[in-house]
């Protein structure tokens, strides 16, 4: 899973246009060509083409839109993928009309002018009102106010708890910051901890930002007392209350999840719908499950998504917009749920009776009660994430003070904008 998508966000100007060719990784519903010269024909550059249900999804999209959709598979390696897409867009290569991008790429590209604005053609006011407004603003809106992508799903960075430990603490729920502190303290004993983190320097960004949001802070403003309070809270968990171990600074999600499954942790922040816990037979209402985000200053949560964007150099924009209107529609989102198990990004569609499963109730509760945001990223995404992670690790290990951390964090914000 996620941090999932490690990428180089620097623009690789030295890569020549010759490397753009999308050959060697293509497939197509009707043709192997990536020349989409017909007015009802587009080329889709996608990460989903290896999914076993992709043909079903593609057939439904072609039937609904009347388009011929040529398909080119994006590279699976994240660095290679971003390099190729960056080069394609920056050199105005029109060989792909629609491109699937993740949050890191969206951050890098949204102010570049390489993506077509969609607010007047696809994400009109009635449609975009159904998407998480915080996510649209944070991840897909340019500094000019243009919305450049259609999110394909929502997947929360949610708080997971071990119900057995919640029962042992004599608690029914965790609704507030005080409840959270009470729970993690009560669950820390005999070499087990109330909270477990993934604090490796390129992963901990997710948790720092989550706590900053819960405290009502601003990840880009480290003079904000609430941002400082959030990081101090994490320091206290590790060093004052000792409800989480300092040595997890080496852990990524794989190590964190294993410890959670083994009963070492009582709660963690984690993406998705619990696949790792299901595989370990540790998933369920009486075991490991998602709870609603506790209210600290507020309830706030991150979602991620892959989004469909329109290459501004496309020769087939009317056809491409037809495709985008479909994937943003009720039928398009429901098809994504059916074939890819992508939980609908639109609030109204997520309540459709055909969207079922054990996450629907808690996802609906989160959707109704939380501010939903995209993660705070800067154009030089990985450099910024790594710098912040290294500073946090130094602070947690008492190598620098809180004042030092905040000063250096603000410098990193300025450097990587």
Q: What is the pLDDT of residues 180-189, one digit of tens each?
A: 999 999 999 9
- CATH number of the CATH domain containing 256: 3.40.190.10
| pLDDT above 70 coverage of the chain, percent | 91
Query: Is residue 371, in this structure, part of any structural domain at all?
Result: no
Quick check: 96 and 45 in contact, CB under 8 A?
yes
Query: Is residue 194, in this structure, part of any structural domain at all?
Result: yes
pLDDT of residue 289: 98
Q: What is the pLDDT of residues 2-58, one digit of tens each?
A: 444 443 344 433 333 334 334 334 444 443 334 444 589 999 999 999 999 999 999
pLDDT of residue 38: 53
Whether residues 350 and 243 fall in one domain: no
Whether residues 298 and 327 fall in one domain: no
Query: Does 225 have pLDDT greater than 70?
Result: yes
Query: Is residue 206, in this structure, part of any structural domain at all?
Result: yes
With cut-offs at 50, 70 and 90, classify the pLDDT of residue 202: very high
Q: What is the pLDDT of residues 365-406, one digit of tens each?
A: 999 999 999 999 998 888 999 999 999 999 999 999 999 999
Query: Is residue 140, in this structure, part of any structural domain at all?
Result: yes
pLDDT of residue 30: 40
| pLDDT above 90 coverage of the chain, percent | 88
pLDDT of residue 250: 97
Whether residues 42 and 96 fall in one domain: yes
With cut-offs at 50, 70 and 90, classify the pLDDT of residue 295: very high
pLDDT of residue 417: 86
Q: How far apart are alpha carbons 212 and 230 in whole angstroms?
A: 5
Q: How far apart are alpha carbons 111 and 114 in whole angstroms?
A: 8
Q: How far apart are alpha carbons 412 and 225 in whole angstroms?
A: 18
Query: Is residue 2, in this structure, part of any structural domain at all?
Result: no
Whether residues 284 and 194 fall in one domain: yes
Domain count, the chain: 2
Whether residues 143 and 168 fall in one domain: no
Whether residues 91 and 144 fall in one domain: yes
pLDDT of residue 350: 95
Whether residues 143 and 40 fall in one domain: yes
Query: Is residue 11, in this structure, part of any structural domain at all?
Result: no
pTM of the entire predicted model = 0.85
Query: Does 292 have pLDDT greater than 70?
Result: yes
pLDDT of residue 26: 41
Query: Is residue 8, in this structure, part of any structural domain at all?
Result: no
Give the pair of three-digit tokens for residue 338. 């059916």
pLDDT of residue 282: 98
Residue range of the domain that includes 116 = 17-154+305-358
Whether residues 279 and 394 fall in one domain: yes
Q: How far apart are alpha carbons 140 and 148 in whole angstroms?
A: 6
Mean pLDDT over all residues of the chain?
91
Whether residues 145 and 79 fall in one domain: yes
Q: What is the pLDDT of residues 69-106, one digit of tens each?
A: 999 999 999 889 999 999 999 999 999 999 999 999 99
Whether residues 270 and 323 fall in one domain: no
Query: Does 364 have pLDDT greater than 80?
Result: yes
Whether residues 125 and 261 fall in one domain: no
Q: How far apart are alpha carbons 100 and 26 in whole angstroms?
A: 15
Query: Is residue 7, in this structure, part of any structural domain at all?
Result: no
Whether residues 142 and 160 fall in one domain: no
Instruction: Write the secondary structure of the chain as one string of H (helix), E (strand) and C (coil).
Output: CCCCCCCCCCCCCCCCHHHHCCCCCEEECCCCCCCCCCCCEEEEEECCCCCCCHHHHHHHHHHHHCCEEEEEECCCCHHHHHHHHHHHHHCCCCCCCEEEECHHHHHHHCCCCCECCCCCCCCCHHHHCCCCHHHHHHHHECCCCCECCEECCCEEEEEEEEHHHHHHCCCCCCCEHHHHHHHHHHCCECCEECCECCCCCCCCHHHHHHHHHHCCCCCCCCCCHHHHHHHHHHHHHHHHCCCCCHHHHHCCHHHHHHHHHCCCECEEEEECCCHHHHHCCCECCCCEEEECCCECCCCEEEEECCEEEEECCCCCHHHHHHHHHHHCCHHHHHHHHHHHCCCCCCHHHHCCCCCCCCCHHHHHHHHHHCEEECCCCCCCHHHHHHHHHHHHHHHHCCCCCHHHHHHHHHHHHHHHC
pLDDT of residue 32: 37
């Amino acid at each position: 899973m996620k941090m999932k998508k490690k990428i180089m966000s620097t623009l690789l100007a030295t890569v020549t246009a010759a490397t753009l060719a999308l050959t060697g990784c293509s497939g197509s519903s009707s043709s192997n060509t990536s020349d989409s010269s017909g007015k009802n024909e587009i080329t889709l550059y996608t990460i989903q083409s290896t999914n076993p249900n992709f043909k079903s999804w593609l057939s439904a999209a072609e039937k609904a839109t009347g388009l011929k959709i040529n398909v080119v598979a994006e590279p699976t390696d994240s660095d290679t993928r971003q390099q190729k897409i960056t080069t394609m867009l920056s050199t105005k290569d029109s060989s792909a009309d629609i491109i699937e991008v993740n949050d890191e790429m969206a951050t890098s590209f949204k102010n570049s002018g390489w993506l077509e604005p969609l607010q007047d053609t696809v994400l009109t006011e009635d449609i975009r009102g159904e998407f998480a407004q915080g996510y649209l603003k944070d991840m897909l809106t340019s500094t000019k106010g243009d919305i450049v992508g259609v999110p394909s799903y929502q997947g929360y960075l949610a708080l997971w708890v071990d119900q057995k430990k919640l029962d042992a603490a004599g608690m029914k729920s965790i609704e507030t910051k005080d409840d959270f502190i009470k729970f993690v303290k009560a669950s820390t004993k005999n070499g087990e901890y109330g909270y477990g983190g993934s604090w490796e320097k390129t992963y901990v960004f997710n948790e720092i930002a989550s706590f900053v949001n819960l405290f009502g802070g601003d990840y880009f403003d480290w003079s904000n007392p609430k941002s400082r309070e959030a990081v101090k809270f994490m320091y206290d968990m590790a060093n004052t209350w000792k409800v989480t171990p300092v040595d997890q600074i080496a852990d990524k999600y794989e190590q964190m999840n294993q410890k959670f499954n083994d009963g070492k942790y009582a709660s963690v922040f984690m993406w998705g719908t619990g696949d790792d816990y299901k595989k370990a037979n540790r998933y369920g209402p009486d075991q490991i499950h998602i709870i609603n985000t506790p209210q600290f200053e507020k309830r706030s949560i991150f979602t991620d998504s892959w989004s469909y964007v329109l290459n501004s150099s496309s020769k087939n924009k009317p056809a491409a917009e037809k495709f985008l209107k479909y994937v943003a529609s009720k039928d398009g989102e429901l098809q994504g749920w059916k074939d890819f198990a992508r939980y609908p990004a639109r609030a109204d569609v997520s309540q459709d009776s055909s969207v079922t499963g054990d996450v629907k109730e808690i996802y609906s509760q989160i959707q109704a009660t939380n501010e939903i945001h995209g993660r705070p990223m800067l154009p030089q995404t990985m450099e910024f994430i790594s710098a912040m992670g290294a500073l946090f690790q130094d602070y947690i290990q008492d190598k620098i003070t809180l004042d030092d951390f905040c000063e250096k964090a603000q410098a990193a914000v300025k450097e990587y904008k």
